[in-house]
Structure 1
Amino acid sequence: MTSPIGGISLPTIPGVGALGGTSGVSAVVPAATPGSADGFAAALTGALDELGSLQASKDQMAVQAATGDLRDVHDYMIAAQEASVATEMVVTIKNKAVEAFTEIMRMPV
């Protein structure tokens, strides 16, 4: 029996690669040079933009579900779960970045 529901695609972060499934496991991503636009700030900005679009999609489906215009409720549930996982991912990356910065600041000069 095949499932009619496709896989959940997680947002990709530039410089990190895909985070879902097996894609991005063997990909080699060149390191960003200092001062380039492909640094951590650009990666985090891209992830936040993707997160915003996922949450906007979820919010739109929630309104459709509340008004009775949504045809399949499972579409809303999938969008809500995608937004939740993406939020957790971005928060985890942010926390690790703050933790790394704190460790660097503790190093003796």
Structure 2
Amino acid sequence: MTSPISGLSLPGFPTVGALGGVDGPTAAAPATTSASGEGFAAALTGALDELGSLQSAKDQLAVQAATGDLRDVHDYMIAAQESSVATEMVVTFKNKAVEAFTEIMRMPV
């Protein structure tokens, strides 16, 4: 039995497919729109907005499950897993950005 789980898509980042692979022509980082980093800021803001919407959908399904209004428990489990994976991905991006900033600050001028 196969499940039609769509890939996780965050604005500005490659789509992560259902099997953990990266979909799209390349897995390279998205190009920034200007030298000031507005592209990264927009991508990060979009990712956080998407994360918030995934978490709110999970919360709504959790309330439905608690009240007995949820017909399929699978919907809640899928939403909870999608929210968890998105949270891990955003935290990983944040950690890598902080790590890169720290490394840049260590460089001698």
TM-score, normalised with respect to structure 2: 0.84
Higher relative contact order (CA 8 A, sep 6+): 1
Mapped pair 1:94 → 2:94: yes
> Alpha-carbon deviations, 1:35-94, whole Å to 9, x = none?
364x21111111000000000000000000000000000110000000000000000000
Residue of structure 2 in register with 1:19 after alignment: 16
- Is the 8 Å Cα contact of residues 14 and 22 (structure 2) preserved in structure 1? no
Residue of structure 2 in register with 1:9 after alignment: 7
Report the CA distance between 1:102 and its aligned residue.
0.2
Report the CA distance between 1:17 and its aligned residue.
2.4
Identity of aligned residues (%): 70
Residue of structure 2 in register with 1:34 after alignment: 35
Residue of structure 2 in register with 1:66 after alignment: 66
Question: Distance in 1 between the 2:50 and 2:93 partners?
Answer: 14
Question: Distance in 2 between the 1:29 and 1:62 partners?
Answer: 34
Compute the RMSD of aligned alpha carbons: 2.0
Report the CA distance between 1:22 and its aligned residue.
4.1
Unmatched tracts of structure 2, length 5 or more: none
Unmatched tracts of structure 1, length 5 or more: none
Question: Distance in 1 between the 2:98 and 2:28 partners?
Answer: 25
Question: Distance in 2 between the 1:30 and 1:78 partners?
Answer: 28
Question: Distance in 1 between the 2:107 and 2:28 partners?
Answer: 30
Give the partner amino acid of 1:23. D
Instruction: Give the ranges of 4+ consecutive aligned residues of structure 1 lying more than 4 Å apart after TM superposition.
Output: 27-30
Q: 1:95 to 1:22 in 2, by over 3 A?
A: closer
Question: Distance in 1 between the 2:101 and 2:53 partners?
Answer: 28
- Is the 8 Å Cα contact of residues 47 and 90 (structure 2) preserved in structure 1? yes
TM-score, normalised with respect to structure 1: 0.84
Q: What is the aligned residue count?
A: 105
- Is the 8 Å Cα contact of residues 8 and 82 (structure 1) preserved in structure 2? no
Secondary structure class of the residue paired with 1:24: coil
